[in-house]
Amino acid sequence: MRVAVIGVGRMGSRHADNFAKGAVPGAQLGAVCDIDPEVRAKAERKWRVNAYADFRDLIDSGDAEAVVVATPHYSHVEICKYALEHGLHTLVEKPIAVTAKDAAELISAADKHRDAIFAIMYNQRTNPLYAQAKRLVESGRLGKIIRADFTVTDWYRSQYYYDMNGWRASWSGEGGGTLINQCVHQLDLLQWILGMPQDVACKCRTVGRNITTENDVTALFGYGDFDCSFRASTHELPGVNRLEIAGTKGLLTVTRGMLTAKLLRMDESEINARSRRDYGNKEDKKYRTVRKFYGIGNYLCDAFYGQQCRVLRAFVAAAEKRDPDLLVARGEEGMGALSLINAMNMSAWTGAREAIPVDADAYAAALAEKIEQERAQSPKQ
Ligand SMILES: NC(=O)c1ccc[n+]([C@@H]2O[C@H](COP(=O)([O-])OP(=O)(O)OC[C@H]3O[C@@H](n4cnc5c(N)ncnc54)[C@H](O)[C@@H]3O)[C@@H](O)[C@H]2O)c1
């Protein structure tokens, strides 16, 4: 299968490299597209494939049966819609779109063209530790969930990173900051493992960077029976990465490289009922510890090909067999994290707890206002 990459900047060029060097079985690089003439010239020299300036020309050319879209966020919907409507299998980089309103439009277009496979690049889902966490929660081994906390402050980004491309960390260019760019991965994991929360209260700050969007987030998601705290930033060093989920039958933690689950023999309610001691019976409180490591094989694979390559491989396999069940994540699954992000931004702007999902039109209007303000005051423009 010939796969084309649209947008061959930092991420797209890594995808193109993987296709070109045969790291994705059954696929070869068919063509590339980029609006930047220098990038196109370099791409033609490097990969010896056609390099188009306009995504429509590439899609109409017949050079590819599938595309990977790795352009800045606002262009995802238009490009993916065009590709799907022309029968090309389409893998979109995260986020699916900037607003839930636009994402819904794309998902509805994909629905009408089910002959083409539609997928999203949620490479963090290929981390076996998060997959194991999901299995433990869904199997009921942790009991009823009573608390969750996710802290991700180890995805450091310098001012140099923000200055590399004008679209980064702006409302007009990117549609947000750390929430829509980095946290989209962890927010996807959160809703993948725990399901969608009902509401959120969120506070955003900009710390130590000349950007107009947030790089520091504190949020509390309401799940009805329990709350989940979410803390993320991209300015802290050395930073921490820790998911913790407590249930009535145990405690689960995932840190970089390791999952630890402490599994009780009985539910806490039973321990409480049986207890004739103030701090609970020692014997009843005993637990079994299960550990899982990320593993050298995964570290090596990430070092050679990048974690994203596993998503590329699943995408090509799904496209070849016309079987979306082989995907790491279907395109429409991009809506979950985006809904959370839209609600978190809305809460940060209004200062109020917001229901999830927020009204899509109201969010689009509030974002348009943010862009207006940015254009009037932006330190970047
Ligand atoms: N999955 C991951 O881990 C991961 C990591 C980094 C970036 N990303 C995502 O990849 C996408 C691109 O990010 P990046 O860091 O590579 O950005 P980038 O700015 O380095 O590259 C984007 C490229 O797209 C080109 N482009 C812009 N508009 C275009 C259009 N309409 N048609 C064709 N080309 C166009 C630009 O000229 C540029 O070369 C974003 O969605 C980003 O969130 C994902």
Per-residue pLDDT of the chain (381 residues; tens, 9 = 90+): 999 999 999 999 999 999 999 999 999 999 999 999 999 999 999 999 999 999 999 999 999 999 999 999 999 999 999 999 999 999 999 999 999 999 999 999 999 999 999 999 999 999 999 999 999 999 999 999 999 999 999 999 999 999 998 899 999 999 999 999 999 999 999 999 999 999 999 999 999 999 999 999 999 999 999 999 999 999 999 999 999 999 999 999 999 999 999 999 999 999 999 999 899 999 999 999 999 999 999 999 999 999 999 999 999 999 999 999 999 999 999 999 999 999 999 999 999 999 999 999 999 999 999 999 999 986 554
**71, 90, 163, 172, best to mutate for ligand 1 pocket (most atoms within 8 Å of CB):** 71
Phi first, then psi: give them for residue 146, nearest 5 degrees. Answer: -120, -15
Q: Quote the ligand 1 centre to 375 CA distance (angstroms).
A: 22
Cβ atoms 101, 38 nearer than 8 A: no
The count of other CB atoms within 10 Å of the CB of residue 172 is 19
List of residues 6+ apart from 277 with CB closer than 8 A: none
**17, 32, 34, 160, best to mutate for ligand 1 pocket (most atoms within 8 Å of CB):** 34
* 128-293 placed in CATH 3.30.360.10: yes
Q: Any idea which residue has 């790089």 for tokens? A: 215
At residue 129, the pLDDT reads: 98
List of residues 6+ apart from 230 with CB closer than 8 A: 149, 150, 151, 183, 186, 187, 190, 217, 218, 219, 220, 221
pTM, full prediction? 0.96
366 CB near ligand 1 (under 6 Å):
no
Between CA 341 and CA 348 the distance in angstroms is 10
Q: Which atom of ligand 1 is nearest to the CA of 12?
A: 16
Task: Please spell the DSSP secondary structure of 234-265, one letter per residue.
Answer: SS-SS--EEEEEEETTEEEEEETTEEEEEEES
pLDDT in tens, 35-88: 999 999 999 999 999 999 999 999 999 999 999 999 999 999 999 999 999 999
Cis check: omega of the bond before 238, within 30 degrees of 0: yes
At residue 381, the pLDDT reads: 47
119 CB near ligand 1 (under 6 Å):
no
306 CB near ligand 1 (under 6 Å):
no
Residue of 249, 250, 171, 186 whose CA lies nearest to 221: 186
For domain 2-124+303-332, which architecture applies? 3-Layer(aba) Sandwich (3.40)
**18, 93, 163, best to mutate for ligand 1 pocket (most atoms within 8 Å of CB):** 93
Shortest-distance Cα residue to atom 37 of ligand 1: 36
Cβ atoms 89, 315 nearer than 8 A: yes
Given its phi and psi angles, is residue 256 left (phi above 0), alpha (psi -120 to 50 degrees) or beta?
A: beta
45: which 2 tokens? 């020299």
Cβ atoms 106, 41 nearer than 8 A: no
At residue 379, the pLDDT reads: 53
Domain ranges of the chain: 2-124+303-332, 128-293
